[in-house]
Structure 1
């Protein structure tokens, strides 16, 4: 993999086996994925679609000592308003002196579409430098300047000698990709091209000694723990606790990181991903550019996957015995802690919705707790989920819907499957609540979800909402569904072209 020489990263449709439209059985999806037959799946009707620019901003807004400039109409940064409070709160958990979210817009109008928006970028950069004195200024390119041909990289290269802040363009134009997760590649592309640099080497070291020096460096105990979008502060503390129990030093990035941490990232012995959907672009480039190996096999959610995650990391450092002892202690303590909840979970049927890696690992965790997983919804699907889905128990009986948004498919699926509880991200939970289902957020910045403590927290919270589901039940009895009754009589995936329907995996 070597895309860093290019100004813009490739979209995931061009780089991976990927789709965001599928409905059918898990084994059929894995089979189609491995044959390379999922890229062409489309919907003849689509109700909603995520934008990679908004997802890029969700990551960039967390960087400390950084100003974000959204190059485009002012509405393209509108989502920042809703995140300003939480960003400030969670920045200060890492650094009490950190500032809140600072973002500007070039506010392009109709005249700028004709004349070009480069002057607006220049004015915004100089204003940000003079007013805030940040370490980094990230300039996010939206659809409009990309369509009219603004040379963002060339302009920032000209401005760089005139400002102290490091200027970094991020190309995340929403129209380029159907796969919203392309945003992670866009953010990492901007980091790799502008915020990381090779470690400085002593020029007096002769060539034969250089490789020995690099080898010693890689045997150090510092690891990069990557936390894009799926890790709360509580998760960071839990995973750091487990890694530190193996004697490792943890550098956490990119979310809520300081610019200096991106430079330090090039000196680590190992890059540890919690989700291949987020991190494959970054870790493969760090391996190719700086020789840093990586762990990318699973996500530490639930007992099975957390055990595997720890063993994979320990194997790199030759710490297998210490890891097995740690796992044995943690598993025993967790089993004792969740035993009181198990009777309440027996027979409960669950529908879960999240990113592909997270939702599969969550399904394994729910099965461990004694619940029955009757359906999955993933925002998109790519090759990194094949092995995880292959290992999921009872996968032959579990339908999976791949969809970014598409609440009309979710509503139909809920009516067909009749789950007892729904796990999903906040933007989908409201739709599920209208059906009267108890809902549990699958991720929140204030909750622990990963590692062994995360499994206990999920069990504790699930038990609480199952004990008292009255609010959502009353909500469903006093609100009408936004869809006609005849839609619920149709197949939930009938608008996915070339798709295998729910009962059609014969």
Structure 2
């Protein structure tokens, strides 16, 4: 899988045969997986739409990770509008960074502010000036240059410029090639970020050799490393999520380090002192852990995401099996499940029988659906940003979902609005930032994730249930909104099949 000799990571539609346009049932999806649609035998990755309302951009998704890194300055080599989403991250990132380091800075970013003249003459001069200014003004440990569409289209030789500047700056310089136009699967952004991290940050740490006889310190160090686990966090996790997963793995005797979000550059060096890399989400991490296995022979686990009781049970047991700690893990799981059953009983009385629609990242929505089934709710629909091979193990925790509709669409709010109008769920659980149209349907909405809430592990199941209970019982704002506002699409659209515009000859 070694792509590190290339300038940038390949697009997900090429590497993983990922799909962004599909309409059908969960049974259809599972059958396509069995037929080998991700091994080149199927053609779902070639699906598209005759009409597209919106599309995700890997540049902005790359920034969602890069903005979390500590001791770093981000330079957006692009027009000023690219990366404006970073403004929304300022407060959250500063707070979450300081939970790890009280002295951490907030998000520091610059833009080369490319304009019409730069499209003709090139933006290389502005990039040089921005890098030198960032090094002189902020003295960061690292300067990260995220490359937008414009410099890629006009042919700026970014790698050569940054290689030249690397010798002139105190900071190390990391290029991230995340041009939005190069892929329709915005999750390629994760690979783009990891590509830069693997090339510039990941290297054997300069540890001193122990000389003490009989090398007792060295033996202690090797024992510590033998129980180290890297848990690869995601930007949609909260600090509470991290503490919950740390609590569970500590309980079976393991040490935990979280990367890449909110890490320092040095943390990636010491990430090699680990016995196992554990993915929270395969969609997020496979590029990184596959390369570490190939280059440094560190084993990895990419399976399910620890959201929901069954998924958390499975996640802990898979990790425990690697270390031979199955007995400890089963005792922990038994105790946690007993406590969870007692705490969920009041919420089941309120939520049982209610229907739900989930929209967001493929792995996360399927996993979250298991919490809903645990509470006695009925899952009636999904809308996933895309789907690939990592969706397969997540289905195992769900029951009776073969007939449930699933829409694979990166954004495309017109399709979701049609489905909500058709299915009329009692509650919507959806990606933050995209719920303005959904609210006009008068449906109570629970965000799929949030920076200050716990969703993962056993305590996450309780928190989701508690907040769902509040949302379902009081959603007067959305009710009033539906009475006094109009949906943005014509009535004729709601009478059409929601998958009308998908170009896929094999779609059901």
Same fold (TM over 0.5): yes
Say whether the 8 Å CA contact 1:217–1:269 is kept in structure 2. Answer: no
What secondary structure sits across from 1:75 in the alignment? coil
Residue 260 of structure 1, CA deviation: 1.3
Post-superposition CA distance 1:188-235 (Å, at most 9, x none): 001000111134589999xxxxxx99x967961111111122311110
Residue from 337, 355, 359 that aligns with 1:353: 359
- Cα distance in 1 for residues equivalent to 2:371 and 2:270: 34
- Cα distance in 1 for residues equivalent to 2:396 and 2:320: 24
User: Structure 1 residue runs of 4+, over 6 Å off?
Assistant: 201-205
User: What residue in structure 2 maps to residue 328 of structure 1?
Assistant: 334
Say whether the 8 Å CA contact 2:204–2:270 is kept in structure 1. Answer: no
| 1:359-374 alignment, distance < 5 Å | 359-374=365-380
Say whether the 8 Å CA contact 1:352–1:363 is kept in structure 2. Answer: yes
User: What residue in structure 1 maps to residue 471 of structure 2?
Assistant: 465
Say whether the 8 Å CA contact 1:381–1:402 is kept in structure 2. Answer: yes
* Between 292-301 and 247-256, the greater mean CA deviation after superposition: 247-256
- Cα distance in 2 for residues equivalent to 1:329 and 1:360: 25
* Between 194-203 and 38-47, the greater mean CA deviation after superposition: 194-203
What secondary structure sits across from 1:315 in the alignment? helix
Say whether the 8 Å CA contact 2:370–2:397 is kept in structure 1. Answer: no
Residue 262 of structure 1, CA deviation: 1.0
What secondary structure sits across from 1:427 in the alignment? coil
Residue from 72, 94, 98 that aligns with 1:92: 98
Aligned residues: 495
Q: TM-score, normalised by structure 1?
A: 0.95
- Cα distance in 2 for residues equivalent to 1:113 and 1:150: 10
- Cα distance in 1 for residues equivalent to 2:75 and 2:287: 24
User: What residue in structure 1 maps to residue 395 of structure 2?
Assistant: 389
Post-superposition CA distance 1:267-320 (Å, at most 9, x none): 111111110000000111111111111111000000000000000111111100
Residue 476 of structure 1, CA deviation: 0.5
Post-superposition CA distance 1:310-369 (Å, at most 9, x none): 001111111000000000000000110111111111110000111000111111121111
Say whether the 8 Å CA contact 1:22–1:499 is kept in structure 2. Answer: no
- Cα distance in 2 for residues equivalent to 1:123 and 1:200: 32
Post-superposition CA distance 1:135-177 (Å, at most 9, x none): 0100000001111111111111111111111100000000000
| 1:6-405 alignment, distance < 5 Å | 6-33=6-33, 34-36=35-37, 37=42, 38-199=44-205, 220-389=226-395, 392-405=398-411
* Between 308-317 and 469-478, the greater mean CA deviation after superposition: 469-478
Post-superposition CA distance 1:50-74 (Å, at most 9, x none): 1000000111001011000000111
Say whether the 8 Å CA contact 2:77–2:146 is kept in structure 1. Answer: yes
What secondary structure sits across from 1:94 in the alignment? coil
- Cα distance in 2 for residues equivalent to 1:306 and 1:76: 37
- Cα distance in 2 for residues equivalent to 1:325 and 1:150: 58
Post-superposition CA distance 1:347-397 (Å, at most 9, x none): 100001110001111111211111000001111000111232355311212
Say whether the 8 Å CA contact 1:23–1:500 is kept in structure 2. Answer: no
Q: TM-score, normalised by structure 2?
A: 0.94
Change (3 A) 1:238 1:150: same
What secondary structure sits across from 1:428 in the alignment? coil
User: What residue in structure 2 maps to residue 446 of structure 1?
Assistant: 452
- Cα distance in 1 for residues equivalent to 2:111 and 2:475: 43
Say whether the 8 Å CA contact 2:311–2:397 is kept in structure 1. Answer: no
- Cα distance in 2 for residues equivalent to 1:435 and 1:202: 62
Change (3 A) 1:194 1:379: same
What secondary structure sits across from 1:409 in the alignment? helix
- Cα distance in 2 for residues equivalent to 1:266 and 1:344: 47
* Between 465-474 and 327-336, the greater mean CA deviation after superposition: 465-474
Say whether the 8 Å CA contact 2:27–2:403 is kept in structure 1. Answer: no
Say whether the 8 Å CA contact 1:218–1:270 is kept in structure 2. Answer: no
Say whether the 8 Å CA contact 1:53–1:183 is kept in structure 2. Answer: yes
Say whether the 8 Å CA contact 2:304–2:393 is kept in structure 1. Answer: no
- Cα distance in 2 for residues equivalent to 1:427 and 1:230: 13
User: What residue in structure 2 maps to residue 5 of structure 1?
Assistant: 5
- Cα distance in 2 for residues equivalent to 1:340 and 1:217: 45
Q: Which runs of 5+ in 1 are unaligned?
A: 206-211
- Cα distance in 2 for residues equivalent to 1:14 and 1:451: 33
User: What residue in structure 2 maps to residue 208 of structure 1?
Assistant: none
Residue 500 of structure 1, CA deviation: 6.7
| RMSD after superposition | 1.9
